Amino acid sequence: MRLPLSWLRELTPVELATDELTEVFAGLGLEVEGVDAVGASYEGIVTARVVETAPHPDAERIQLVRVDRGDGQVLQVCCGAFNMAPGDIVPLATVGTTMPDGMEIVAREMRGEMSNGMLCSARELGLGDDHSGIMLMDPATPLGAEVAEVLGIGPDVVFDLDVLPNRPDALSVLGVARDLAARLGLPLRRPEPRPVESGDDASSMVSVEIIDPGLCGRFLVRVLSDVAGGRTPGWMAQRLTAAGMRPISPVVDVSNYVMLELGQPTHTYDLAAVRGGCLRIRRAAPGERLETLDGVVRTLGSRDGVITDGDDVPVGIAGVMGGASTEISAGTTDIILEAAWWNPMDIAVSSASLNLHSEASLRFKRGVDPGLAPLASGRFAELLAEINGATLHPGEVEDLGELPRSEPFLVRTDRVNMILGTDLDVREVSALITPLGFGAEPAGADLQVEVPGWRPDCSGEVDIIEEVGRHYGLERITKTTPRSPVAGALTATQRRRRRIRAAFMGAGLSEAMPMPFLAPGDLERCGLDPGGLRVANPLAAEESVLRTSPMPGLLAAVAYNAARRIPDVRLFEVSRLFGPGELVVDRDRSAELDRVLTGEAEFAAAVLAGGDSTEAVELLEVVLAAAGVGPLALHAEELPGLHPGRSASVEVAGLTLGAVGEIHPEVAAAHDIDQRLGWLQLDLDALMRLPETVVRVAPVSRYPSTDVDLAFVVDERVPAAAVAATIHTTGGELVTGVELFDVFRSESLGPGRKSLAHRIRFCAPDRTLTDGEVGELRTAIIDAVESTHGASLRG
């Protein structure tokens, strides 16, 4: 809401400086988003009459205009506009004038002809955006007068207020003035129009009928005659412009002015175009069509309301926009003026479904004061009469539908103090809300409160408590601190998640945070199943798929950096994905289900550009150790998106926790990455289900240990971990360490064979092992590995 200060001051005598007023507005919840100075200075711009016009001898696009500013002297001005004729009164910026935009007017020669000033357009005076020609003023205007004085314009300050949805009253100058007056203890001067009535009674000229009372609560019309002609006064044009509206014609401008001032939108019909002088309100029939004021033919549905004429033909969309067929034209003499109250929900739905948003629909959907129609129509008639002598026919013609009923309710003083943390008595509470228009009848220590029509947002005690707090001043409430009886602590899962992050960082990886949206095709490019939830209303196709895997995001990050000559990036991410699953709605609202999509899952993933599967496995061990789970088993597996010979699933305690290995080189290539990419992905939901190992210490042996080196030649398909497991099983507790210190492949070993060299450490908890014992263990291990894995001891 753009609010000119001069207008505000008309309704309440506020004298604060701009910055003080800004603070007061903020304290009232009307945040000031901007303050503009308008109409800076008009000094030196005077009225002048056009004496004659003549073509410029040497320029086609300007003409010579000779004007008289009342001193009998004729001044020549070169002018780029051609809309004036001798006798017209125009604004002349005389030599020495500084224009509102800072330009200085000097006498100068234009292609050989002197120009002694400048004739002004409406826009140059800050009155709307009309720059099509010079502003033509009332022929009765005296010459040589300061234009600012004649038009009633001058410097003004405009506050741009952020009006929140719960404050429909603040969408008007009156509403803001009321709030301000209450806060500052100032009187509120509500307009009290006293339009003169004459002619036939309106009820003999028009009739109205509400057919759908749920849609329209009040439909009040008045009839005005002799509405043609006149020009919108400068002060009104300036205020409308400052408020962000465009001056158009007296009837339209007065309608907008009344809406901005009081908050009641009005609509005008050309009486001659309304068949039968009859207006009815009903729901639109599905498919019914209507050309609106903006020249668009719109197809309506049953969610829309319409105003129809005597032939049941729609002439307007209820509360949203009028129809073209009854629009006021230059030849219109008689009009029907409508001031209505529409059901806010209906207007919200209608304007949303038509995607048609107007200043009127904004106010109707937030809620207009149902009592405002007589005042607004009177104000309209009064203002228009001032401008062009329009006459108002006696009588309001009105039909009523269902209006919101507001019963008084109890506001308990104790409750006010309990919620706000204040110590107010009932008189103080009453004194804070009655200036806002609330009725407050004492009821013991409490108040029986009645809500005025302009505060539809207030329907219960808590709404009044908010008003008390707002006008008492939130800054005056004493700050207290409740003591939590809860011992603040992270949960085991939250601590574990932090340790996992720390482990990745300790291993030299940086944390990435790609967007969880994907473009169609991103998953396929990773060799993954293209399934996954779609966003129903994405803004862009690149954000239309919810990721089922962290792979596209992390590979895109690697590719982004590689393209900027930053190779070898090592990134991890701990976040959520939206994997395959059911959508389950928690119908009994128990919150027992902690997921709506069962596949929404937390993961940890890492990519090592320039790293390989070996590094990825080392990283896996670091991370699992930090998470406190183990021991882990790897199962060689061909997994989507991963290198078929260098990937494995990760298992701990029978649960599959994820995958480790390398990205498939073709997937890397599809992302323009020409490095090997180590890859790790863990299902954190599964991991978090594993109990954290609580360490029970095994005593450290005091006796010396013995190392034995054994190299076994085995088939390539035998996993090293299987050989190590056999060594452990065979040696039992006496084997305290198995280190695979060398892997050797050579033609001499035979095709498809490899040598695994282990250093095995033997140690007993209670004695020094004898050479004999170690020898026996060695033999047993060799036998077991040879027989279990088809191995042979390498000599």
Query: Minimum CB separation from other proteins for residue 509, in Å?
Result: 5
Out of 406, 434, 561, 792, the only residue in the binding site for other proteins (CB under 8 A) is 561
Task: Look at the alpha carbons of 264, 37, 177, 473 in this order and tell me if their dihedral is positive or negative.
Answer: positive
Nearer to other proteins, 17 or 330 (CB): 17
1 binds other proteins (CB under 8 A): no
Q: How far is the CB of 794 from other proteins (least distance, A)?
A: 36
For other proteins, the binding residues in 417-456 under the rule CB under 8 A are 418-422
The values of phi and psi at residue 788, to 5°, are: -75, -40
Do 169 and 4 meet the contact criterion of CB atoms below 8 Å apart? no
Q: For the window 351-380, what string marks contact with other proteins as x by the rule CB under 8 A? A: --------------xx--------------
Q: Smallest distance, Å, CB 266 to other proteins?
A: 22
Among 589, 694, 747, 766, binds other proteins (CB under 8 A): 589
Give CA separation, 703 vs 277, 700, 759, 767, 769, in Å: 113, 9, 19, 6, 8
| Contacts with 140 (C-beta within 8 Å, 6 or more apart), sequence order | none
When asked if residue 530 is in the footprint of other proteins (CB under 8 A), the reply is no
Nearer to other proteins, 171 or 760 (CB): 171
When the beta carbons of 296 and 584 are compared against other proteins, the nearer one is 584
Task: Please report how many Cα atoms fall inside a 13 Å half-sphere around the Cα of residue 479, on the Cβ side.
Answer: 1
Only segment of 186-194, 283-291, 459-467, 718-726 that touches other proteins (CB under 8 A): 459-467
Q: Which tokens belong to 535? A: 């966003």
Nearer to other proteins among residue 346 and residue 382 (C-beta) = 346
Cβ closer to other proteins: 516 or 640?
Answer: 516
- Which burial class, exposed, middle or buried, applies to 409 when counting CB atoms under 10 A from its CB (0-12, 13-18, 19+)? middle
CB of 592 to other proteins, least distance (A): 7
- Give dist(CA 452, CA 430) in Å, integer: 15
> Closer CB to other proteins, residue 356 or residue 782?
356
Q: Which lies closer to other proteins via its Cβ, residue 300 or residue 574? A: 574
Binding-site size for other proteins (CB under 8 A) equals: 98
Q: Judge if the upstream peptide bond of residue 631 is cis by omega within 30 degrees of 0.
A: yes
Residue 536: how many other CB atoms lie within 10 Å: 6
Give the residue, chosen from 111, 246, 534, 702, that forms a contact with other proteins under the rule CB under 8 A. Answer: 534
CA separation for the pair 548, 526 (Å, rounded): 11
Segment holding 157, helix H or strand E: strand 156-162
Q: Looking at 189, 231, 499, 595, which residue binds other proteins (CB under 8 A)?
A: 595
Among 17, 330, 539, 700, the residue binding other proteins under the rule CB under 8 A is 539
Nearer to other proteins, 152 or 581 (CB): 581
How many other CB atoms are found less than 10 A from the CB of residue 249? 19
Q: How far apart are CA 432 and CA 643, in angstroms?
A: 73
Give residue 125's Cα distance to chain centre: 36
Q: Of 17 and 585, which has the nearer Cβ to other proteins?
A: 585
Binding of other proteins by 557 (CB under 8 A): yes
Measure the CA angle with vertex 199, ends 198 and 201; round to 5°: 100
CB of 383 to other proteins, least distance (A): 30
Asked whether the beta carbons of 647 and 639 are under 8 A apart, the reply is yes
| CA-closest candidate to residue 202, choices 394, 408, 458, 62 | 394
**Amino acid making up residue 47:** T
Looking at residues 474 to 513 of the shown chain, list those that interact with other proteins (rule: CB under 8 A): 474-475, 477-491, 494, 498, 501, 504-513
Helix (H) or strand (E) holding 718: none
Residue 318 CB, shortest distance to other proteins, in Å, is 16
Strand partners, 306: 282, 317
Q: Which is nearer to other proteins, 584 or 740 (CB)?
A: 584
Report the site for other proteins in 567-586 (rule: CB under 8 A): 569-572, 575-576, 578, 582-586
Residue 38: φ, ψ to 5°: -125, 165
The pattern of x and - marking residues 13 through 52 that bind other proteins according to CB under 8 A reads -------------xxxx-x---------------------
Identify which of residues 85 and 462 has a Cβ nearer to other proteins in the complex.
462
For position 192 contacting other proteins by CB under 8 A, the verdict is no
Residue 535 binds other proteins (CB under 8 A): yes
Site for other proteins, residues 122 to 181, rule: CB under 8 A? 164-167
